[in-house]
Amino acid sequence: MKKIKSRGVIFGDMHFPLHDEGAFSCALKVIETVKPNVFINLGDFAEGEMVSHWRWSRRKRPPLEYQLPLIDKEADEVNMHMDRIDYVLDQVGCKKRYLAMGNHDNWYNAFVEENPYLEQYKPENLFKIKERGYKWYPYGEIFKVEGTKLYAYHGGHYNSINHSRTTVQNLGCNIIYGHTHDCQRSVVQHISGVHVAQSMGCLCKIKKDFLKGRKVNWTHNVGVVDFFDDGWFNLITLDIHDGMTTWNNEIIKGEQWA
Ligand SMILES: [Fe+2]
């Protein structure tokens, strides 16, 4: 008989400091409640507004002396919220931590390409990813989770409306990803077996300036995954409504963080 070997919690697309505080604090409480021994951060943990190419697309880019304090201020806020994740993971003794860099996180690499003497602004350095205990993967790299039958990456390779179907058809493996900010699942039977692709929703603000009032299909979710000893898994995506979800017949409610 299959046994549960380990349990993971999955966060995606927080976009600190433009996260949704209710959804994020609820997701932290899910960690406290389910006590995982694996944590997967699917990236876009940073918004990266101050290094965004969009920010300067219609304006003349100011000198570095002007940009750096703004970048530092945003990075401080991102680090503060990453600390909150570390704190809860430490509390429950979750030591196996994985992080897939997202496209927003990758904007910091573009900034360092432009300013090659500012290596400290690479996302893995600026946000102390290794120090926090993460095994991390560059933007776009797909990795196998804990030697199981589940793969993960930030997402972004396949962006059709039915992106989970395109993803599972093209990759032919079980995979979780973020990037789309919606929660979608597709299953395909290949000759090699059943495969599922699941986008994991987001934990960021649903209203963003660039949307200019456009309605979106984004949802707040946190993933819980039980891994069996044969490598298979039970992947559950919890819906978070108004900073609230349920687990095991109990309400888990986020709080505003002071
Ligand atoms: Fe994102």
Top pLDDT among 81 and 192 is at 81
Distance (Å, whole) CA 85 – CA 76? 15
Its pTM surpasses 0.85: yes
Q: Give domain status of residue 258, yes or no.
A: no
**pLDDT of 105-115, one tens digit each?**
999 999 999 99
Closest CA to 220 of 27, 8, 35, 15: 27
Measured in Å, residue 201 CA sits from the centre of ligand 1 at: 9
Give the type of residue at 89.
Answer: L
Whether residue 119 is contained in a domain is answered as yes
Q: Give the distance (Å) from ligand 1 centre to CA of residue 73.
A: 20
Residue span of the structural domain in which 153 resides:
4-253
Calculate how far, in angstroms, residue 249's C-alpha sits from the geometric centre of ligand 1: 30
Q: Which pLDDT tens digit goes with each residue over 29-88?
A: 999 999 999 999 999 999 999 998 888 777 788 889 999 999 999 999 999 999 999 999
pLDDT at 66: 92
pLDDT at residue number 209: 74
- Centre a 10 Å sphere on the Cβ of residue 60 and count the other Cβ atoms it contains: 5
User: How many angstroms separate the alpha carbon of residue 6 from the centre of ligand 1?
Assistant: 27
58 domain-assigned: yes
Domain CATH number, residue 244: 3.60.21.10
For the cut 80, the answer to whether the pLDDT of residue 207 exceeds it is no
Helical ranges in 19-144 per DSSP H: 21-34, 64-92, 103-114, 123-126
* 112 vs 1 pLDDT, higher one: 112
**Mean per-residue pLDDT, 233-258:** 92
What is the structure's pLDDT at 164? 98
Task: Using the CB atoms, write b or e for 138-152: b if 16+ within 10 Å.
Answer: ebeebeebbebbbbb
Q: Write out pLDDT tens, residues 163-186.
A: 999 999 999 999 999 999 999 999
- pLDDT tens per residue, range 149-169: 999 999 999 988 999 999 999
The pLDDT of 118-142, averaged and rounded, is 98
In a domain, 135, yes or no: yes
Give the whole-number percent of the chain exceeding pLDDT 70.
Answer: 98
Q: Which residues lie across from 183 on neighbouring strands?
A: 200
Distance 184 CA to ligand 1 centre (A): 15
Sequence length of the chain is 258
In the chain, how many domains are there? 1
Q: Is residue 26 part of a domain?
A: yes
- Ligand 1 centroid to 120 CA: how many Å? 23
Across the chain, mean pLDDT equals: 95
